[in-house]
Amino acid sequence: MEKLFSYGTLQLEQVQLDTFGRLLEGQADTLQGYVIGEVEISDAAVLKSSGQRFHPALIKTGLATDTVTGTIFTITAEELANADNYEVNDYVRVEEIFSSGINAWVYVAKSLI
């Protein structure tokens, strides 16, 4: 099983149903060293699923005082590949350590890293 941190649209029920075919369960957690910016989405399927033209996007600052809260979901490897397809080319997936000590994947803005 994989761990995936969501701080944005992957927390939306419709996005989860469209991306994973089910609603996800997770636990709240915090990531240090990042702030939230945004990227403009042009992919039609992603726009339809989220209903949002601008999506939140993490920007790494490296500062311990910068934190982002969200949810860590436990998903399958196949569901992680589905998440990669949803995030398209606007994001890159990286692994980070969270305040809870859990290692999880997270999507950060490709153009902002």
Query: Buried b / exposed e across 34-52, counting CB within 10 Å, b at 16+?
Result: beeeebebeeeebeebbee
* pLDDT tens profile 24-83: 999 999 999 999 998 787 878 877 888 878 888 999 999 999 999 999 999 999 999 999
Is the model's pLDDT at 21 over the cut of 70? Answer: yes
Tokens linked to 80: 């992680």
Is the model's pLDDT at 113 over the cut of 60? Answer: no
Domains by residue range for the chain, with CATH: 2-112 (3.10.490.10)
